[in-house]
Chains A and B, each alone.
Chain A
Amino acid sequence: MVEELLKLQNIYKNFGNVKVLKDVNIKINKGEVVALIGDNGAGKSTLIKVITGVHSPNSGKVFFKEKEVQIKSVAQSRKMGIEAVYQERALCDQQELYRNIFAGREITNSFGFLDIKKQRKEAEKILRDYIGFTSKAITVDSQVMGLSGGEKQGVAFGRSLYFNSDLIVLDEPTMGLSIQETEKVLNFVKGLKNENKSAIFIDHNIIHVYGAADRFIILDRGEVVGEFNKEDISREELVQKMIQLHESGKIKVED
Chain B
Amino acid sequence: MNNLLNSYFVKTHKLEISITIIAVVLFLIYFLGAPHVFTRFPIYRAFMQSMPFFGIIAISATFVVTLGEIDLSFPSIVGITSLIFGIIMTSTDGNFFIAFILATSLGMFAGLVNGLLVTKIGIPSIVATIGTLFFWRGLVNVISQGSGIAIVDVADGTWHHMIFVEKLFGKIPMQFIWFIVLTGLMQWVYRYHKFGNHIHFVGDNKASAQMMGINVDNVKIIAFVQLGFFSALAGIFTMYEMLYFWPTQGEGLMLTTLAAVFVGGTSVFGGKGTIFGTFIGVLIIGSLESGIVALGLSGFYVKFINGLMITVAVTVYALIQRRKN
A residues near B (Cβ < 8 Å) are: 52, 54, 73-75, 78, 84, 86, 88-95, 99-100, 103-106, 108, 111-114, 116, 141, 145
* Cβ-defined contact, A92 with B201, below 8 A: yes
Question: B320 near A: Cβ within 8 Å?
Answer: no
Residues on B with C-beta less than 8 A from A94 are: 200, 204, 271-272
Q: Which residue of A lies closest to B272 (CB)?
A: A94
Determine chain B's interface SS by DSSP, over half rule: helix
**Within 8 Å CB of B194, what residues of A?**
106, 108, 112-114
Given contact pairs A95-B201, A95-B271, A141-B8, A88 touches B195 in the complex (Cβ within 8 A): no
Across the A-B interface, give the 3 residue pairs with the lowest CB-CB distance, nearest first: A104-B213, A90-B211, A92-B204
B195 touches which of A52, A84, A112 (Cβ 8 Å): A112
Q: B197 at interface (Cβ–Cβ under 8 A)? A: yes
Complex contact A114–B192 (CB within 8 A) = yes
Known: A106-B194, A141-B8. A92 touches B324 (CB 8 A): no
Whether B213 contacts A75 by the Cβ 8 Å rule is yes
- A84-B211 in contact (CB<8A): yes
Assuming the A-B contacts A75-B213, A95-B200, are A90 and B192 also in contact, with contact meaning beta carbons closer than 8 angstroms in the complex? no
Q: Can you list 30 pairs linking A and B with CB atoms under 8 Å apart?
A: A52-B211, A54-B210, A73-B215, A74-B211, A75-B213, A75-B215, A89-B208, A90-B207, A90-B212, A92-B204, A92-B208, A92-B209, A92-B271, A94-B204, A94-B271, A94-B272, A95-B271, A99-B200, A100-B212, A103-B197, A103-B201, A103-B209, A104-B212, A104-B213, A106-B197, A112-B194, A113-B192, A114-B192, A114-B197, A145-B324
| Chain B residues proximal to chain A, CB less than 8 Å | 8, 12, 188, 192-195, 197-198, 200-201, 204-205, 207-215, 271-272, 324-325
Q: Which of A52, A73, A100, A103 has the most CB of B within 10 A?
A: A103
Listed residue (B188, B194, B213, B214) with the most chain A CB atoms within 10 angstroms of its CB = B213
Would A74 and B210 count as touching, CB distance under 8 A? yes
A74's partner among B12, B198, B204, B212 (CB-CB below 8 A) is: B212
Partner pick for B213 among A74, A95, A113, A141, CB 8 A cutoff: A74
Residues of A within 8 A of B208 (CB): 88-92
Inter-chain residue pair count (beta carbon < 8 A): 82
Question: Within the complex, which residue of A84, A92, A99, A106 is in contact with B205, where a contact is CB–CB below 8 Å?
Answer: A92
- Which residue of B has the minimal Cβ distance to A108? B194
Complex: how many Å from CA A103 to CA B201?
A: 8
Contacts of A114 in B (CB 8 A): 192-194, 197
Q: With a CB–CB cut-off of 8 A, which chain A residues contact B195?
A: 112
* Residues in A neighbouring B12, C-beta threshold 8 A: 141
- How would you classify the secondary structure of chain A's contact residues: helix, strand, loop or mixed? loop
A84–B211 CA distance with the chains assembled, in angstroms? 9
Q: B211 and A78: CB pair below 8 A?
A: no
Q: Which residue of B lies closest to A78 (CB)?
A: B213
Separation of A78 and B210 alpha carbons in the complex (Å): 12
Min Cβ gap B34→A in Å is 40
Inside 8 A of B198's CB, which chain A residues have their CB?
A: 103-104
Q: Closest chain B residue to A101 by CB distance?
A: B212
Q: B234: shortest Cβ distance to chain A, in Å?
A: 25
Closest to A79 in B: B213
B206 to chain A: closest residue by CB: A92
Most chain B CB within 10 A, of A52, A94, A106, A111, is at: A94
- Chain A's nearest CB lies how many Å from the CB of B239? 31
Partner of B211, one of A86, A95, A141: A86
In the assembled complex, the CB of A55 is this many whole angstroms from the nearest CB of chain B, namely: 10
B212 neighbours in A (Cβ, 8 Å): 74, 90, 92, 100, 103-104
